[in-house]
Structure 1
Amino acid sequence: MKVFVFLVLAIASASAGLLSQTAPVHPRDRTIVPSINGRITNGNNAVANQFPYQVGLSFTGSEGSWWCGGSIIDNSWVLTAAHCTSGASSVTIYYGATVRTSPQFTHTVSSKDFIQHVNYISLTVRNDISLIKTPAVTFSASINKIALPAIASSYSTYVGQTAVASGWGLTSDEATAVARDLQFTDLTVIENSVCQKAFSSLIVTSRVICVATPKGTSTCQGDSGGPLALDGTLIGITSFGSPDGCEVGEPAAFTRVTSYLEWIKSNSGVSD
């Protein structure tokens, strides 16, 4: 998981009324600790084959290297966040890992096989979604795809339902040791109106899904691009959180997958 670098929101005064004092920050970019890795805070250790759709993504680019998560949606496609692919020249994909450094195998893919949303805007975290075309993989108990939501569920808010987020990295805002094991935690989806109080309606649009983070349990540094799953279906892509830290109790935000089903299908051919 990639370390967070704070987003500086310099919006014109005409838009100032739409912004809160809390600027969103990507899990990839948090600079609270001097490490390029992070994980779900106060989560649980996953067991082997629990999340076969989870992949680790080790990106390299002109600004260095960083870690993100991703989800297998087809044997030749991984779905992740645009802020993970942004600025990268290549990525090494870690398949079938529970111990982060011990995947079943890896594939390295160049940026020519990235499909980043053309209208991704980092300033307001719009369209934070990317596809990665990969060599075909054979599915197994440890490596498998996750289902996309059905078109019929596009209007579901999921409010009040409990979904599971997963990823690797640090255990807290202060931790510096890289996690050995894949982590996961259950998180409850909240109303966007509640999330807007933390990040504003300019940031939290209908294409964002937010969760509560009680007792310091949240996505954190390096969880960027990873999955938020509900009953075996991918409903969110880890996107941003509070710049004050992962354990402060502020909502965590995800790209809402149901808002991008047509985009995913038109660019990859993958649908529910």
Structure 2
Amino acid sequence: MVSGKDVLVSAAVFAFALISHSEGIIGGREAAPHSRPYMASIQAPHGENLKHECGGFVIADQWVMTAVHCLPTGPNGRKVVLGVHSLSEAEETKQMFDIMELYNHPEFSASNYDNDIALIKLDRPFNASEAIKAVEYIRAGGINPEMNAEVETTGWGSLDDLGSRPDKLQEVSVEIVNPLLCRRRDYFGSKFTSNMMCAHKVCPNPCDKPYKKEDSCDGDSGGPLLFNGVVVGITSNGGKKCGQIKKPGIYTVISHYTEWIDNTMAPQPEATLDDSS
């Protein structure tokens, strides 16, 4: 459940979100419909409708993993939609859920997005189908991708810096960037921590022009970064412009949070009446 501390964190996140961009897809391609059945669309009230705001991914029958900064004001009327390919079409595969509980990592930092991992407990378990399935995620002791390893990310985020949003799920392959590079002052400097990995794909050398940049961009924070079909990262934050050579996408390293995930998702004992009172 959302605690008082979470409310304070959310307020700080909201202030930071006003001046920062979340992540999405640039230079990718449309995914085959429902080929990534773990994808979740977190949608916020927009007039009488709902509007896609962030991504997430299903990790258990009632649980979705996302990024803390995806819900800057808490649940606040937001819905989680599973079984989505097209955001606008009335697909029979779609299932919509209320957010019963939101758990933000208690050590999330609004100043640099460190520990940007959150868990959403849906108001009920989903009905499993070919369009809705949980995905495997890396745990402590698992092998994270090394420098230059090819990884994948997916979402409904912006296609360019002008904010053009796709209706259908996009996917892109990128490469892990040397963390020493991402710690350089001309990249992210001290903002980049050991809880993060960074990835993008830039023009090869020699560069065949025209070259399409491939990166994550505005609108798809909370989505997965996959290595050999296993989620190893959560799309977090990068530069204010997408596809820049020195501002690759930043992803939260999931394997650092196994204990917190397990403790958060563990069944809570039911309260019992004290007969002596």
Say which of 66, 75, 89 aligns to 2:61.
Answer: 75
Counterpart in 1 of 2:266?
269
Cα shift at 1:98:
1.2
SS in 2 for 1:153: coil
Say which of 117, 133, 136 aligns to 1:147.
Answer: 136
Compared CA separation, residues 265 and 217, structure 1 to 2 (3 A): same
Say which of 43, 53, 77 aligns to 2:28.
Answer: 43
Compared CA separation, residues 211 and 169, structure 1 to 2 (3 A): closer
Q: 2: distance between equivalents of 1:79 and 1:122? A: 18
Cα-Cα RMSD: 2.5
Q: 2: distance between equivalents of 1:158 and 1:266? A: 28
- Kindly provide the amino acid, as one letter, of the partner of residue 43 in structure 2: S
Work out whether residues 145 and 227 of structure 2, in 8 Å CA contact, stay in contact via their aligned partners in 1: no
2:108 paired with 1:120: yes
SS in 1 for 2:236: strand
Work out whether residues 91 and 108 of structure 1, in 8 Å CA contact, stay in contact via their aligned partners in 2: no
Cα shift at 1:187:
0.8
- Counting only pairs closer than 5 Å after superposition, residues 52-63 of structure 1 correspond to structure 2 as 52-60=37-45
- Counting only pairs closer than 5 Å after superposition, residues 1-272 of structure 1 correspond to structure 2 as 7=16, 25-27=20-22, 39-60=24-45, 67-88=53-74, 89-102=76-89, 103=91, 104-110=93-99, 113-134=101-122, 135-153=124-142, 156-176=144-164, 178-197=165-184, 198-200=187-189, 202-214=190-202, 215-243=212-240, 245-249=241-245, 250-269=247-266
In the superposition, the TM-score normalised over structure 2's length comes to 0.77
Cα shift at 1:6:
9.2
- Kindly provide the amino acid, as one letter, of the partner of residue 156 in structure 2: W
Cα shift at 1:148:
1.4
Q: 2: distance between equivalents of 1:139 and 1:129? A: 24
Compared CA separation, residues 85 and 175, structure 1 to 2 (3 A): closer
Unpaired segments of 5 or more residues in structure 1? 9-23, 29-38
Counterpart in 1 of 2:7?
none
Q: 2: distance between equivalents of 1:129 and 1:96? A: 22
Cα shift at 1:174:
1.8
Compared CA separation, residues 169 and 148, structure 1 to 2 (3 A): closer
Q: 2: distance between equivalents of 1:68 and 1:175? A: 14
Once the two structures are overlaid, the 10-residue window that deviates more, 72-81 or 191-200, is: 191-200
Work out whether residues 59 and 85 of structure 1, in 8 Å CA contact, stay in contact via their aligned partners in 2: no
Compared CA separation, residues 101 and 211, structure 1 to 2 (3 A): same
Q: Matched residues, percent identical?
A: 25
Compared CA separation, residues 60 and 254, structure 1 to 2 (3 A): farther
- Kindly provide the amino acid, as one letter, of the partner of residue 125 in structure 2: A
Q: 1: distance between equivalents of 2:94 and 2:85? A: 12
Cα shift at 1:153:
1.3
- Kindly provide the amino acid, as one letter, of the partner of residue 250 in structure 2: A
Cα shift at 1:175:
4.3
Cα shift at 1:191:
1.7
Q: 1: distance between equivalents of 2:25 and 2:182? A: 19
Work out whether residues 54 and 71 of structure 1, in 8 Å CA contact, stay in contact via their aligned partners in 2: yes
Cα shift at 1:101:
2.4
